[in-house]
Every structure is written in C-alpha cells, then in structure tokens.
C-alpha cells in the first residue's frame, strides 16, 4: 500500500477519511483507521512522532482512546513507558483527576496516582488536536505530578479550532499534518 515518491504529509492526508456529521451534526470526523490499516505508513507516522519527541523521553502519555494506539506504538519505538490517561471511572487504582470545560458542560480525565514520578520527561500524544481542551487538561495533569512535559504530539491538527493557542505557555506542539 506504500506510495514512495509522495511526501509523508501527502500520504497521511490520503489515508485520513473525513466523515461529515459524525458523531453529531456539524462535526467533520477525521477517521484515522485507513492510516492504521496501512502498515508501512503507520510505521512512518510513529517514526515521525518519535523524531518530534526528541531524545531521553521517560514516558509517553496517551489520551483515551485513539491516543492509546499511537502512544503505545510510540512508547515501543522509544523504548519508554506508556501511561493511559482515561475518562473518569475507568482506571482501577487510585487516581489524580483534572476537570475541564467542554462546549456544553465539563468532563474529567484521570491517571493512576503513581503513574508519573516528579522530574520524568514526558510527551503526550493524541490523534487529533481540535479545540485543545483535552490536551490542555492532560498537560495540567502531567504538571500536577511534577512531570516535565517536553512535547505535545498529534497526527493531525484542525488549525481553524486554534487548539495550539489553548496550549500556549505549555509544551512545544508538533502535528504531522494540519487542516486550515
């Protein structure tokens, strides 16, 4: 399925399927499953995220749920640990929690209370940077542990939603492709 010749960004774009009005009217859902199904491309995406992460990473923090897919593969590639950040009530042990505002109402995110030791060098990973609320809350959680957040990594960024601005003052933000 590989198409050598084309730039990585073009090949990623070609494997993102846009689904209008999913899961709700007005949302243009960016479906990354065609990318995952292309083994060569999936590997190159993980390599590109690893390059953006830089050296000496102790932990990859993956955001539920598609952040687990990219995050676990990235942790394997970097030979570092993986921490799942999950919706409330999913993790079995004691947790730290952050709450954040959504368009309507609030939501929370949790990590196990022993997941990150102070001073650990951490990258956070998700598939899509949209409004940035989820990533900003995760960044806050990492900081609460005393972790050093060295980068926030995304496969794709919906630039028009200005999520990058919500992360301003936080870690450097890297996205492999951007939709404006």
> Can you tell me the distance from the alpha carbon of 43 to that of 177, in angstroms, rounded to the nearest whole number?
16
Q: Does 66 bind ligand AMP (CB under 6 A)?
A: yes
For residues 67-106, which are near ligand AMP according to CB under 6 A? none
Residue 110 CA neighbour count, 13 Å, CB half = 12
Annotated catalytic residue, options 11, 15, 66, 164: 66
Taken as a whole, the chain contains a residue count of: 180
Q: How far is the CB of 56 from ligand AMP (least distance, A)?
A: 26
Q: How far is the CB of 5 from ligand AMP (least distance, A)?
A: 28
Preceding omega of 65 cis (within 30 degrees of 0): yes
Q: How far is the CB of 55 from ligand AMP (least distance, A)?
A: 26
Q: Which stretch binds ligand AMP (CB under 6 A): 51-59, 106-114, 131-139, 145-153?
A: 131-139
Number of residues that bind ligand AMP (CB under 6 A): 17
Active site residue 66: yes
As to burial, measured by CB atoms within 10 angstroms (0-12 exposed, 13-18 middle, 19+ buried), residue 14 is: middle
Kind plus residue range of the DSSP H or E element containing 45: helix 39-53
Q: Hey, which residues are catalytic here?
A: 66, 103
List residues near ligand AMP by CB under 6 A: 27-30, 63, 66, 126-135, 163
């Amino acid at each position: 399925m590989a198409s050598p010749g084309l730039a990585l960004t073009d090949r990623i774009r070609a494997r993102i399927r846009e689904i209008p009005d999913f899961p709700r009217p007005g949302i243009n859902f960016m479906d990354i499953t065609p990318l995952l199904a292309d083994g060569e491309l999936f590997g190159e995406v993980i390599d590109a995220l690893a390059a953006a992460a830089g050296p000496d990473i102790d932990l990859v923090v993956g955001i539920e749920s598609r952040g687990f897919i990219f995050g676990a593969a990235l942790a394997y590639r970097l030979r570092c640990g993986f921490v799942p950040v999950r919706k409330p009530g999913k993790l079995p042990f004691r947790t730290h929690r952050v709450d954040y505002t959504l368009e309507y109402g609030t939501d929370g995110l949790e990590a196990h209370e022993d997941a990150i030791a102070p001073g650990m060098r951490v990258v956070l990973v998700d598939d899509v940077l949209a409004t940035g609320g989820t990533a900003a809350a995760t960044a806050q959680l990492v900081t609460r542990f005393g972790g050093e957040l060295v980068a926030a990594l995304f496969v794709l960024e919906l630039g028009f939603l200005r999520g990058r601005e919500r992360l301003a003052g936080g870690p450097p933000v890297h996205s492999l492709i951007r939709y404006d």
